[in-house]
Amino acid sequence: MKEKILTKAVDMFLNLGFKSVTMDDIAHEIGISKKTIYTEYSNKTALVEDCVMHKFCTMSDGIDDIVALGKNPIEELYEIKKYVLSHLKDEKTSPQYQLMKYYPKIYGNLKKLHFDKMQGCVLSNVERGVTQEIYRSNLNVEFVARIYFSGVNSIKDQSVFPLERFPVAYLMDTYLEYHLRGIVTPKGREILNGIINSNQQ
């Protein structure tokens, strides 16, 4: 039962927002009593935290699987972007903003986990790209990893990038290209242009 509650709650929170969805709503959607949810979760905060950590672990494992394929670093970033997009809803409710506003402690923990995961992933990606001579050899690898993380978070700010003008898929595509064009060598640029051209066909 716990897994059923978790699956439905994750879907509803991402679609409708953490604030908007009540325990009654989740119980109604599953067709159980609210009391049944409270036998598994002491309160809504506990459920939100479990949902957030479950989603993070799922995404993290999926990214690890992509990295294990051993693609070249540019292709790897495009595969990760495609994977992340397929798992995140084209949100209208900005669940991340609601999480930050109404559950700041959970948001803080998630942000730290997200930072640690992305740092490791991007540091490794940049180092391999430099070794393969598709990224410039004079890069400050840690700076590149941190600025990439910072940018990925910044483009989620809907006060700067309103959804009606900047859809999520467009933002992620454009930001990834912006990031890569700043660090590739001529050899890397050929790979990047090839991926972009094949995606547009």
Is the per-residue pLDDT at 8 higher than 90?
A: yes
The residue whose two tokens read 């959804």 is 163
Q: Do 2 and 40 form a contact (C-beta atoms < 8 A)?
A: yes
Report the predicted TM-score, pTM, of the whole model to 2 decimal places.
0.87
pLDDT for residue 200 is more than 80: no
CATH fold of 44-200: Tetracycline Repressor; domain 2 (1.10.357)
Distance CA 87, CA 95 (A): 14
As a whole number, mean pLDDT of residues 197-201 equals 79
Average pLDDT score over residue span 3-29: 93
Question: What are the strands, taking DSSP E only, across 56-181?
Answer: none
**Does the pLDDT value for residue 90 go beyond 70?**
no
Comparing CA positions, the residue from 86, 103, 112 lying closest to residue 18 is 103
Q: Name the least confident of 76-80, 98-102, 121-125.
A: 98-102
Task: Look up residue 39 and give its amino acid.
Answer: T
Structure-token match 């986990």, residue found: 113
Average pLDDT of the chain, as a whole number: 92
Q: Write down the domain spans for the chain.
A: 44-200
Measured distance CA(115)–CA(21) in Å, rounded: 27
Whole-number pLDDT of residue 16: 87
- Asked whether residue 89 carries a pLDDT value surpassing 60, the answer given is no
183 pLDDT higher than 90: yes
Using one digit for the tens of pLDDT, what is the confidence trace for 105-115?
999 999 999 99
